[in-house]
Structures are given as structure tokens and as C-alpha cells.
Amino acid sequence: MNTRTSSPVGTLDRRAFVTALLADRRDLLVVSGLGSATYDLAAAGDHDRNFYLWGAMGGAAMIGLGLALARPDTPVLVLTGDGEQLMGLGALATVGARAPKNLSIVVLDNRLYGETGMQASHTGRGVDLVAVAAGCAFGWTMRIDSLEQAGPLRERLHRREGSGLASVQIAQTEAARVLPSRDGVENKNRFRRALGLPTI
């Protein structure tokens, strides 16, 4: 019988945290997961080095891994939610096995599946993504529950200390949607231009 209890809900404002994290982004490449993570990234400021995923739930970490392997001298951030990362737990094992020094995954964890109706996610039932990442041989992991931790996390992303995962304990509130372009071809081509690659 499972006797785990619900873990406490976070209190951080998701938009304030993402904005603080990206305050000095330098050459950071950012891949955002489906839904709220993409809205948070767009609200923090649209940028040519943002790659927004539309309709690819569960794929953000693997796309970030491919990008990190292709650009080993550039820091890569995957910004996603707990629901999406739970759909891609196997991706954490692959990231751990490949161990790029320049890949960081930031999970905005509100313990809800926000895109499917705000049902409780497994992180609210005792599943610990920080422990999962540590078990997958990530170079570093951390749990974040204060806005003051955004600055040190930002610096860690840029130091490229090894694959890392931070779980940010956010409040269960819904922010207004800030929608970047949904034109997949233009989003891809804009990102390729920012990397100095030809458009297709």
C-alpha cells in the first residue's frame, strides 16, 4: 500500500521567477515545453534564441539534449512543466547517460497537469523529479522555493557545470496567456538564423 502523502504546494510566482532567471541571458538558448512554460518564456521577453514547442508535449528535454550536443560551447536551457517532464521520464535517463555539460532543465512544478484541465500531477503525490534526475546521474540537481535563488541558478546555467535539473516550486495559479508566434516554420527559421544556420 502506498502511504505517501501529498507534498506541499509551492508559492513562487512563475512569471516573476522566469523573468528573473532570464534577466541576463547572454548567449543562452532556451527550449520551452508545451503550454504554460512557453507563455512564461514569451512573457519574459520574446527572443530569437527562444525555441517554442507547440504540440510536442513530453519532447522538450530531448530537443534540448540534441541542441546541447550540437552546440557544446553554448548553454542550453529547457524550461518545462512538471506534467510535461513526467511524460518524458525516460528522457532524463538519456540526458544522464549522454551528460552534456551545457544542458540545464528547469521544471516549473505546480503539481498540476495545466494543459489538460488542472488535474493533480504525480509530483503532488510524492514523485520527486529532483531525486529522479539525481538517480539518472545528472551532474547537479536542486529544489528552488525562493525568488532569490534565480540569480545563482542563472549563473550556474552559464558555467556549464554538467547536466542539471532544478525543480521550481511554483504556486497553483494561472497567469494570463502570452502567446508567441504559432507559425512553426517561422519559429524554426528564426531560431536557425540566430544560430547562423541557413533556413529551410
Cell numbers for 89:
521520464
Q: How far apart are CA 40 and CA 4, in angstroms?
A: 31
Of 198 and 11, the one with more pLDDT? 198
Instruction: Give the tens place of pLDDT for each residue, 103-138.
Output: 999 999 876 655 665 566 666 778 799 999 999 999
Percentage of the chain lying above the pLDDT 70 cut: 90
Dist. CA 96–CA 172, nearest whole Å: 29
Q: Distance of alpha carbon 103 from its chain centroid, rounded?
A: 10
- What was the pLDDT predicted at 84? 81
> Between 61 and 109, where is the model more confident?
61
Residue 71, pLDDT score: 97
- Determine the 3-state secondary structure of 32 from DSSP: strand
pLDDT at 2 over 80: no
For 122, the grid coordinates are 504525480
Mean pLDDT of all residues in 30-42: 91
3-state secondary structure of 37: helix
Q: The dihedral of CA 140, 141, 145, 150: what is its sign?
A: positive
Mean pLDDT, all residues of the chain: 88
CATH architecture label of 14-194: 3-Layer(aba) Sandwich (3.40)
